[in-house]
Amino acid sequence: MVSMARKERMTVTVDAELIEAGNRAVRAGRADSLSSWVNDALTERDQRERRLRAMAEAVAAYERLHGVITDEEMIAQERADQKAAIVIRGRRGRISGPRRSRRKAA
């Protein structure tokens, strides 16, 4: 979280559902106030956009040195990434067989 020494008041129009989400966060103790919740959201958005710009700049620098990344190269890399991935939560959509109940001996 970025804490700025100087804050400015502003007026904005926000969807009612988002205001309620912020108020729920305050009631649940996940935010100190609606203003801090909004400030945190704006900070997260700013950080995300900075990361995306940095990645775009890195790709552009790579392509200036090595040429444009082709669709075939992207597909090959995606396949290599999938092959090297480690599954830690199991397969999705996997249906197990019927459960057998254990009966207590009488």
Is-contact 37 31, C-beta < 8 A? yes
CB burial class (10 A; 0-12, 13-18, 19+) of residue 8? Answer: exposed
Q: What are the residue ranges in the chain where pLDDT is below 70?
A: 1-4, 90-106
pTM of this structure: 0.64
CA distance 21 to 29: 12
Q: What is the pLDDT, as a whole number, of residue 33?
A: 97
Residue among 50, 40, 31, 32 nearest 4 (CA) = 40
pLDDT in the model for residue 105: 57
**DSSP three-state, residue 33:** coil
**What pLDDT score was predicted for residue 54?**
98
